[in-house]
Structure 1
């Protein structure tokens, strides 16, 4: 839906709607409409005011839990609404009460602590602004191109304390040549040129014309059959079939599957949100996570050239990547027995719209769950592992990101980011920074050459997962676990001994921790009031990948703005106002918000209601094989039960039924023929590998 498709004032008079049956339920179409009506009838609303963000203002956790326990009232439905006046730049952060039908509070931003997210309306105006400036036109002509041959890419500005940018909404603009309407412009960066634009004033505040370099000529149209080459014709179909249907049950946004129960939600800023994940164990519904989401995503680039040093994107806080969610298609994005959830959002006029099939849910077979062939008893037992997958994909400019949450039969929770799309490109060898001693004829040290004369700057993708934990309840703590080598000596005469060290994290200020694969460092979230049958705390282990944290210098602007990315883990005491690792207003924020503020009071995190902030993601030195479209790269973390259960919780998973199409290769063979050349399985056990795992 575009802004021209709808009228600004579609309904006169405020309206209210009945509260949703659950206080954490996603805002409905009717509620978005009611919010719009309340807001546009306010005295300070103007024809140039736009909705930058509309989302559920979640009640305090204790109020939700009290209502669920029957000891408290149903919390009021409220929404958070951010408004930008395009003519004046006036920005407000508002809380709207749906029950009362009023704006409950308004905070006016002065710009000193960040700006509202960038609107699509602002992006759409950029080409007209730069193309009207003679300096921009002349700079393109110097490079042998024109405004008619170039597309512009407006990007978030970061914060560099430039006098003319104080209190103004700024984006930075790079150009790419597009040789014909279906040409992919990422192959032709117009390098050495950058415009800084005031979106409200509609002017270029500063033009950086650092160097005139050749525009790479070779195309990058990965969907062109001539580029793709001869089709691969030897792949046979893989059929995913569940003849009796999926094993999950869905009631609105609530899902039950195997022993799992949870709510599926969606937010314009964060995208997919999972709430109140619990596991039924021996008839008891045991909570694990109250709320899980990707609350921020930082993409810092490592090229210090005059036109690229500022490239550091917060795709969640600056761009609201949930609004760019893809509508997923069966057979293309998702395969198998699929349940889709639509994503309902508000556009920049406050009108509700739907992204059909924004969230995909399905089951996957993922190999062996457990198996043993016993030497002494002759028992042969094997069980198949499966997992429930809840996912969405969003396209932010050149990159496409998929976020997949996996729930397994054994209580394991995983979150995996899948990165694909098109590299952000530059000319190669690149533009040297002022004062650089770099030899222009040598390999450029800050980018890879992925095609003739085409560079791809080194960069990182740093995702922040906000994990509001409730492991067996609210009294949680975090123990840092690591392997310890012991010296040879008394008690370890042969030098083979090693042990485990556990260190309790007690305060927010010292909770910033870095993963260390050399000692298998992990973090155990334990309940300080409940124990398992061994008398030890029940818990879950957070297992990190141990990739690098933020590579930028600690004194850099980006490090000040993204302290969360300087560590793999921070732990804070629950506060409903602390939702985002980089703070509420990330665009042009000078730093010191988010995690920096949250840990400043050094509140206790020992036996408290705690939130984990986990940073994960790859450091990307692009390959030639990543061009012209990047095969999926992966980053993930795992939450695994550690002392949470009394024993293996999957002993009761039934053996799989043999299927007729299992074989060891070649033509399909029957199980009778198969049995003639292989040991007989135990009664009821599966004798084959089963279905291939599938991926949405």
Structure 2
């Protein structure tokens, strides 16, 4: 039976509500903070890895500190502060000139109010048939850097506000775009600094556009779908101690922060009584959504959703039976609002188990014996809504020792209007509904994986298929050396080439599915029972290359999207691939800057950065709500175990009475013989 207990704080545990209040009180007491102060973040200061290692090995105390980002809207500057929670004192206060922190939820709300009350905006909306301005919705998009209109100081704290109009409070707010209206808002002063109206392609958006209803009460629903119940009468198979999870030999610590959302620490697998480390820290560290449409109403769009908005702050409270099925365990997210007050989002992280088909199977056709095991996986997930889009981040842990980070994209496409004579066959956009288009765009997610494969001394290799020339004396051994005694008379020989990537420049790579390319992280010294280096491989799934050009604003600001793989030696202060403050940043920070030093990767404490890309050519089937688009990759053991680590998973008949359950499920005895519940 699973147990759920409480433990003392681990250094990686997020701040509690009391600690957030404590940090704010210390700041209020030690600094004269004006009315224009906004608390962008109050979070646990990320402790140095060496200090955490010392704590885990010998119990050495780690200072409990709060890291605070503040925006002073009156002084128009940003500050970073560090508060010692142990000593109740402010230990660091630093002004950060010329940076813009992420947009806060309070600024979202205030920006919408300011735009809707603006006379120029109301006049532009009225030209499009809008009478009730209260039914409008306004989303403050980030302005980037290079496309701020001339005449506006790019050093101001800005948002580029886009508008839509509803027909009721519960209507699909994104069905009727007020295309062509662009409001540039100073978020410090909360004023519209410029209103641009490029004109409309539809005379009256209320009468000329269709409803795009999706709510349960607004649709005729299918009546032939039978209940599907996930039943765990004895509870789940995990044990949870505070924020530590143990499940099927996996050991995982669950963390959280406002910027990245879900963070996982100390991911290891128990083998013969020892927990062998695999990943020290894992998260989706950044994401970027560039749009390809040339239409000036949309060609500027490039949201850096994690760094510019703090995706953790936009998380959903998850609901049983909808977001997760079966037996769930939830973790709350304890954060702050712009006033520094505690804001608790309940049930933000969901932990549950899923059946995932066959784990392994073999039928001995000679003896008619069949052995089959069901594949059960642990899911740790959260969902965030960023304006019109919804993103579900799932981390799957499998009984065979593999890990699958996955993103599911859903929600509503960012959209615009189509004029009666506009060409929509060019490939830049596609019709979603009459007069409404969805623009071609891409999504890029940068996953930061602080690897620790059986320890921190790791080496990185590229593996891919390599053909051998046809003929005698040309066979190549697995290690790349020529085998003078070998033959390849049929020309069918090929091998898995193994090339070490010794520096940061060598590790900048794209996927190559035609060659079966993957990357392998090995321990520099440790080997398995057959003297092969213990390793984990990163196996790409579906992916896409960034379509934007090198000299584009997008590539300058988020250069990490140029490659699918990056690798760096671990540094405590290298956490975000587009830099600490990507909002309105001209670019050059993060991975491109760090890797310009071309540091060695040989036997280092390695961090892998994997860029997962999604290409989205919109279609009517994406409207009014986009069916989930799934993208993922896997981390799989290579020579890490002596045999299949899932060989000891019991069959279903060993953990439940199959015959009793059949009799319980079926009223018709004849149906029992035909059931496949085994």
Give me the TM-score of the superposition, normalised by structure 1.
0.89
Q: What is the rounded CA distance, in whole Å, between the counterparts of 1:546 and 1:325 in structure 2? A: 26
Q: What is the rounded CA distance, in whole Å, between the counterparts of 2:333 and 2:360 in structure 1? A: 37
Any gaps of 5 or more consecutive residues in structure 1?
1-18, 431-438, 678-686, 691-696
Matches for 1:619-630 after TM superposition, within 5 Å: 619-630=615-626
Shift in Å, 1:425: 1.1
Number of the residue aligned with 1:460: 442
Q: 1:219 aligns with which of 197, 211, 219?
A: 211
Pair 1:273-2:259 in alignment: no
Pair 1:343-2:333 in alignment: yes
RMSD: 2.2
- Distance of aligned partners of 1:192 and 1:47 in 2 relative to their CA distance in 1, 3 Å threshold: closer
Shift in Å, 1:190: 1.2
Number of the residue aligned with 2:465: 483
Q: What is the rounded CA distance, in whole Å, between the counterparts of 2:445 and 2:667 in structure 1? A: 44
Shift in Å, 1:398: 0.8
Shift in Å, 1:445: 3.1
Number of the residue aligned with 1:194: 182
- Distance of aligned partners of 1:128 and 1:27 in 2 relative to their CA distance in 1, 3 Å threshold: closer
CA deviations over 1:101-143 (Å, ceiling 9, x no partner): 22222332222xx411111222222234334544333323333
Q: What is the rounded CA distance, in whole Å, between the counterparts of 1:85 and 1:38 in structure 2? A: 17
Q: 1:96 aligns with which of 44, 59, 83?
A: 83
Q: 1:119 aligns with which of 94, 104, 107?
A: 104
Shift in Å, 1:394: 1.2
Q: What is the rounded CA distance, in whole Å, between the counterparts of 1:671 and 1:639 in structure 2? A: 45
Number of the residue aligned with 2:482: none
Q: What is the aligned length?
A: 646
Shift in Å, 1:546: 4.3
Shift in Å, 1:20: 5.5
Shift in Å, 1:444: 4.8
Shift in Å, 1:661: 8.0
Q: Secondary structure at the match of 1:344?
A: strand
Pair 1:155-2:141 in alignment: yes
Matches for 1:14-33 after TM superposition, within 5 Å: 21-33=9-21
Q: What is the rounded CA distance, in whole Å, between the counterparts of 2:424 and 2:262 in structure 1? A: 45
Q: 1:566 aligns with which of 562, 566, 573?
A: 562
Q: Which stretch of structure 1 is more off in the superposition, 166-175 or 442-451? A: 442-451
Number of the residue aligned with 1:615: 611
Matches for 1:94-493 after TM superposition, within 5 Å: 94-111=81-98, 114-146=99-131, 147-148=133-134, 150-160=136-146, 162=148, 164-214=152-202, 215=205, 217-223=209-215, 225-226=217-218, 228-229=219-220, 231-376=221-366, 378-428=368-418, 440-441=422-423, 443-490=425-472, 491-493=487-489
- Distance of aligned partners of 1:673 and 1:305 in 2 relative to their CA distance in 1, 3 Å threshold: closer
Q: What is the rounded CA distance, in whole Å, between the counterparts of 2:676 and 2:136 in structure 1? A: 57
* Contact persistence 2:350–2:380 (CA under 8 A): yes
Pair 1:595-2:591 in alignment: yes
Q: What is the rounded CA distance, in whole Å, between the counterparts of 1:423 and 1:506 in structure 2? A: 42
Shift in Å, 1:689: 5.0
Q: What is the rounded CA distance, in whole Å, between the counterparts of 1:352 and 1:671 in structure 2? A: 59
Q: What is the rounded CA distance, in whole Å, between the counterparts of 1:39 and 1:670 in structure 2? A: 71
* Contact persistence 1:429–1:449 (CA under 8 A): no
Pair 1:579-2:564 in alignment: no
Q: Secondary structure at the match of 1:586?
A: coil
* Contact persistence 2:363–2:370 (CA under 8 A): yes
Q: Which stretch of structure 1 is more off in the superposition, 560-569 or 486-495? A: 486-495
Q: What is the rounded CA distance, in whole Å, between the counterparts of 1:249 and 1:593 in structure 2? A: 41
* Contact persistence 1:661–1:668 (CA under 8 A): no
Q: Which stretch of structure 1 is more off in the superposition, 161-170 or 214-223? A: 161-170
Q: Which stretch of structure 1 is more off in the superposition, 490-499 or 287-296? A: 490-499
Number of the residue aligned with 1:694: none
* Contact persistence 1:340–1:359 (CA under 8 A): yes
Q: What is the rounded CA distance, in whole Å, between the counterparts of 2:305 and 2:177 in structure 1? A: 21
Q: What is the rounded CA distance, in whole Å, between the counterparts of 1:445 and 1:184 in structure 2? A: 26
Q: What is the rounded CA distance, in whole Å, between the counterparts of 1:429 and 1:641 in structure 2? A: 54
Shift in Å, 1:302: 1.3
Pair 1:61-2:66 in alignment: no
Q: Secondary structure at the match of 2:74?
A: coil
Shift in Å, 1:161: 6.3
Shift in Å, 1:301: 1.3
Shift in Å, 1:424: 1.1
Q: What is the rounded CA distance, in whole Å, between the counterparts of 1:127 and 1:296 in structure 2? A: 26
Q: What is the rounded CA distance, in whole Å, between the counterparts of 1:414 and 1:670 in structure 2? A: 41
- Distance of aligned partners of 1:688 and 1:219 in 2 relative to their CA distance in 1, 3 Å threshold: same
Shift in Å, 1:588: 0.3
Q: What is the rounded CA distance, in whole Å, between the counterparts of 2:167 and 2:369 in structure 1? A: 67
Number of the residue aligned with 1:77: 64
Any gaps of 5 or more consecutive residues in structure 2?
1-6, 473-486
Number of the residue aligned with 1:498: 494
Shift in Å, 1:320: 0.6
CA deviations over 1:186-213 (Å, ceiling 9, x no partner): 1111112212222223333333322321
Q: Which stretch of structure 1 is more off in the superposition, 183-192 or 519-528? A: 183-192
Q: Which stretch of structure 1 is more off in the superposition, 386-395 or 141-150? A: 141-150
CA deviations over 1:370-394 (Å, ceiling 9, x no partner): 1111245554211221111111111
* Contact persistence 2:116–2:134 (CA under 8 A): no
- Distance of aligned partners of 1:75 and 1:442 in 2 relative to their CA distance in 1, 3 Å threshold: closer
CA deviations over 1:228-262 (Å, ceiling 9, x no partner): 23x21111111111121111011110111111111
CA deviations over 1:324-363 (Å, ceiling 9, x no partner): 2111111222211111111111121222222111111111
Shift in Å, 1:600: 2.2
Shift in Å, 1:308: 1.6
Q: Secondary structure at the match of 2:508?
A: coil
Q: Which stretch of structure 1 is more off in the superposition, 52-61 or 279-288? A: 52-61
* Contact persistence 2:201–2:419 (CA under 8 A): no
Shift in Å, 1:513: 0.9
* Contact persistence 2:542–2:632 (CA under 8 A): no
Q: Which stretch of structure 1 is more off in the superposition, 322-331 or 217-226? A: 217-226
CA deviations over 1:633-670 (Å, ceiling 9, x no partner): 1111110111111111122222221524888xx96776
Q: What is the rounded CA distance, in whole Å, between the counterparts of 1:155 and 1:377 in structure 2? A: 65
Q: Which stretch of structure 1 is more off in the superposition, 208-217 or 349-358? A: 208-217
